[in-house]
Structure 1
Amino acid sequence: MDYAGLDYRNIRFSVDRSLTKIERKNQYSRNRKTNAKPTDFLSVIEINSNYIDLVDRWYSIKGFNTWLGACVVLIGFSFATMIAVAPFMTPIADEPGAMWFMLIFLLPVSLLLAWGGWWLIRTECGRYTHYPMRLNRKTGQVHFFRQNGTVLTVPWDSLFITLGEAKSSLTGTTYDLRVHVLDLDGKTVRESFSLGYPSILGNAESIDRFWAFIQPYMEAHDGIERTWQHLKQKTGYLLPIEGRKEGWRWSIVQNYAWSGYWPWLQLIASPVLGLNAIGRMIAMWSCKQPEWPAEVERESTIDVDDSYVLTWRDNGPLGWWELWYPLICTVLGIGTAIGIIGWMFYSI
């Protein structure tokens, strides 16, 4: 999966550098209408007349590193255990050269493999459930919840927004709506984050569509109405993580959401998607909820008579294709995955 920009042990976007020519070329200009059809990437937590809350780029794929890391840890420790007991078994005990090769070389490699799996797990577990971004239309400020728990606050008008690009060995080239916070010279990047990410199936045109969704809210005179109408009529669901952690039902829904148009793909890929759903539940359970600082909350009061308030509480019921079919795929997929893993260890 694409974990570009994840700030764990210095895996993050490149900063303290000058803007590139490509970034300048692909900059999204303010106050210019776009003809792209708006889309929200299922990334909205809540909206009202004063602000809109969005999730980070890693929220939709959370769980992958957890289950993959657990498998790597299991493999590493299994090999380490077999190597540790090998000297007490024949015929290895009668081959000193092979025995010392296993203890001096293979055992450290196995332990290093287990450590690598733990590193993968730690990129998602024991951290925050998500890293929200708050776009405050009323104050013109953008609040970004950093991965270390601090919050960056910058004016919307000062942000350099461009088409971001990242490369992953699993997903190839991916795109996001990249935001750069510039130095006073107007060309040196001091901090970067993704404002919108279309999971693993998006392209450059997808980012145009997300810009068409988010720009009006912050800039158009009728932006609140347009954004509210889009979410109310076209999206159907807001993320149920405002004021709480997501439950197991939404972990399954979110896990399969990117493949919702292809039920056959959900079934075929169920061994991987099933493990990913379990990994997501574990990751969410182990993480703490982010909380905005008091000064951000003071600027984000909601008017009592605000008719544009939308949260997960306004969601409709989850249907067959949103929850129950993915749940069946998850059960079948986990059973298949356990069978495959068991067969592999039995063969060894």
Structure 2
Amino acid sequence: MFNPFKRLPADPSKRFYKPFLRLSDKNISRIYSQSAGDPDVKALSGFDSVVRINSTYLELIDRFYKWRGTNTLAGVFFFCIFFGLFCYNTITAGLGWGRYSFGVWFGAIIIWSITLPLSIGLYRLMTSEIFFSTYYPIRFNRKNGMVYVYQSGGTVLTIPWKTLRFAMYETKMPLSTQWTIVGCVPGEDGDTITRTIPLPIDLSWGPEMMLVYWEFIRCYMEESDEYLPDLADTVPWCPPVENRREGWLFGLLYLCKQVSRLGLVVNALQFPILFVLSFPRWLVMRTSTIPVWPSEVEAACRPDENDPVNKGAEHNPPQIWRSMLAWQGKERFAKVFAREHSASDRIVARLKAKYGEENDAG
């Protein structure tokens, strides 16, 4: 039961309800194999979720990073409505003290009993993002085979990569279906889920696009070092959140980002809402602390001094807004994304050659 007096957890991942309780749940569409690649994958992409990639670790944003500020905006809007109604009812009742009938007072008490708990709950929602962390990173360490999940207060959940089971599930929306990949920590029976770690993205483009994202992570953790340069080249740009706060303009661009010019039509309709949302998002970023990994995690994830693979926000292309909004002509698009697409094609060819032959032999 909802308790308006209980404070919301600071860590967004802890507010993420378990979409299923067992790996055998009917809501699960697929459980991915970590050891074997899928030769049918069409491409690989980090879908703008990569904070840093090098030969030691891959760091991703959290799933709720994209819509940071939404709870703050919704909380402020509805809190003002319901708390304003509560205050108005209180003032009018005070001014009419001794003159109102029993029916009027009974109606006032009903309004108080509804608006006050709602106001408290909305206050919790309004303050559920500020003064916490700008984002909650997830690190995949390919050298020691560990996954590190940053949580509120600087605590870190450490789980062996091989222990996790990654499942794709779908959520029915009013006008579409969304797919999400969740890392699951199974219990002793191998089926009951004791913990879930949602990966950063959910998409409505179809389950085959989730495979594009999954193979990006799986290849990083499982395949040989020769894949790493190409994996890094599939990342066109990185969110500038590592050791710094996201700026207001980048936050607005991130809310509006799209993969093709066709998205301009949709974004044009949504822009007034996204523009308003960019301000509470900026407030959340300014009031929140920058996540700092514990020293033991940093030591375990320390890259080689002359690591040939290293990409972060400092390597973002100039005029990044063009890439984020797909605001460029065909020639510029082909030039900017030629490396990304060719790197993805090379990885796909390797996967087909390696795992296609294994399937044929089987």
TMscore range, shorter length: 0.7 to 0.9
Task: Name the residue aligned to 2:110.
Answer: 105
Secondary structure, in 3 states, of the residue corresponding to 1:153? strand
CA distance in 1, matches of 2:46, 2:217: 8
Q: Which one-letter code corresponds to 1:302 in the other structure?
A: P
CA distance in 1, matches of 2:176, 2:247: 31
Task: Name the residue aligned to 2:311.
Answer: 310
Q: Does 1:223 align with 2:217?
A: no
Q: Does 1:195 align with 2:188?
A: no
Task: Name the residue aligned to 1:339.
Answer: none
Question: What is the TM-score when the length of structure 1 is the normalising length?
Answer: 0.80
CA distance in 1, matches of 2:160, 2:325: 43
Secondary structure, in 3 states, of the residue corresponding to 1:269? helix
Alignment of 1:1-348 (within 5 A): 6-7=12-13, 11-13=16-18, 17-22=21-26, 26-29=30-33, 30-34=35-39, 35-87=41-93, 94-97=99-102, 99-147=104-152, 149-166=154-171, 173-198=177-202, 201-221=204-224, 222-231=226-235, 235=236, 237-258=237-258, 261=261, 262-318=263-319, 321=322
Change (3 A) 1:85 1:321: farther
Change (3 A) 1:22 1:98: closer
Moved more, 216-225 or 18-27: 18-27
The gaps in structure 2 that reach 5 residues or longer are: 1-10, 328-362
Change (3 A) 1:225 1:277: same
CA distance in 1, matches of 2:282, 2:29: 40
Task: Name the residue aligned to 1:335.
Answer: none
**How many residue pairs were aligned?**
313
Shift of residue 21 of structure 1?
4.7
Shift of residue 143 of structure 1?
0.9
Shift of residue 294 of structure 1?
1.2
Aligned structure 1 segments of 4 or more residues deviating by more than 6 angstroms: 322-326
Q: Which one-letter code corresponds to 1:283 in the other structure?
A: V
Shift of residue 243 of structure 1?
0.8
The gaps in structure 1 that reach 5 residues or longer are: 327-348
Higher RCO (C-alpha under 8 Å, 6+ residues apart): 2
Q: Which one-letter code corresponds to 1:246 in the other structure?
A: E
CA distance in 2, matches of 1:203, 1:149: 35
Shift of residue 133 of structure 1?
0.7
> What per-residue deviation string (whole Å, max 9, x for no partner) do you get for residues 244-300 of structure 1?
111112211111125864223222222321222112112222222222111111011
CA distance in 2, matches of 1:276, 1:93: 45
Change (3 A) 1:66 1:322: farther
The answer to whether the Cα contact below 8 Å between 1:253 and 1:322 also exists between their aligned partners in 2 is no
Change (3 A) 1:126 1:99: farther
Shift of residue 301 of structure 1?
1.1
Shift of residue 37 of structure 1?
1.6
CA distance in 1, matches of 2:49, 2:188: 31
Q: CA RMSD in A?
A: 2.9
Shift of residue 47 of structure 1?
1.0
Secondary structure, in 3 states, of the residue corresponding to 1:197? strand
Secondary structure, in 3 states, of the residue corresponding to 1:213? helix
Q: Which one-letter code corresponds to 1:60 in the other structure?
A: K
Q: Which one-letter code corresponds to 1:239 in the other structure?
A: P
Task: Name the residue aligned to 2:331.
Answer: none
Shift of residue 319 of structure 1?
5.1
Question: What is the TM-score when the length of structure 2 is the normalising length?
Answer: 0.77
